[in-house]
Structure 1
Amino acid sequence: MIDTISSLGLFFFAALLEITGGYLIWRWLKNHQGKILGLVGGLILFSYGIIMTFQPENFGKVYAAYGGFFVISSLFWGYWIDKKKPDKFEIIGSVVVLIGVAVIFYFPR
């Protein structure tokens, strides 16, 4: 159980890093804000790549499962940062994705 909790924590931490880094680069390029945002965003994205190596499985399985965490985390980011409430289809789709993540990564083999 501890391994599952650690793994979930790593997935959510990685999602926070990836979304934050991507958001800073987005603001730099799309909103023409300071280059320092792009640099910091790139460093955060680099950190995300390192965090993912702490997962106990192989690359393909980790990144396939991570996609689901990214979807959920992106919707939370949109809600809290961009003030965009997810609609019912985004919520339903997120639940479907999380079920897929559970099957891919956490079901016993």
Structure 2
Amino acid sequence: MLEITSTIVVFFFAALLEIGGGYLVWKWLRDHKGKILGLTGGLILFSYGIVMTLQPADFGKVYATYGGIFVVSSIIWGYWIDKKIPDRFELIGSVVVLIGVAVMFYFPR
């Protein structure tokens, strides 16, 4: 159970780094914010790549699973940061993705 908890924490931390870093780059380029914001975003994105190496599985399995975590995290980010309430299809899709993630990464082989 501890291994499952630690991998979930790493996945969501990585998602925070990727989405947060991407958001800063987005603000820099789309909203014409300062270059420091873009550089900071780039460094945060680089950190995301390092954090992903903390997962115990192989690259392909980790990144496939992370894709599902990223989807759910993006919906959460949109709600908290962009103040966009997810519709029922986004919520249903998030549940479906999480079920897929659980099957891919956590079910015994």
TM-score computed with the length of structure 1 as normaliser: 0.99
**% same residue:** 74
Pairing of 1:25-104 with structure 2 (within 5 A): 25-104=25-104
Map Cα deviations across residues 62-91 of structure 1 (whole Å, 9 max, x no partner). Answer: 000001111111111100100000000000
Structure 2 partner of 1:2: 2
Deviations 1:2-56 (A, max 9, x none): 1100000000000000000000000000111111110000000000000000000
Question: Hey, what's the Cα distance between the residues in 1 that align with 2:27 and 2:63?
Answer: 25
TM-score by length of 2: 0.99
- Detail structure 1 runs of 4+ shifted over 2 Å in the superposition: none
CA–CA distance in 2 between the matches of 1:5 and 1:29?
A: 36
Letter of the 2:44 partner, please give it.
I
- Runs (5+) with no aligned partner, structure 2: none
Matched residues in 2 for 1:101 and 1:5: separation?
14
Aligned length: 109
RMSD of aligned C-alpha atoms? 0.4
Q: Which amino acid aligns with 1:25?
A: V
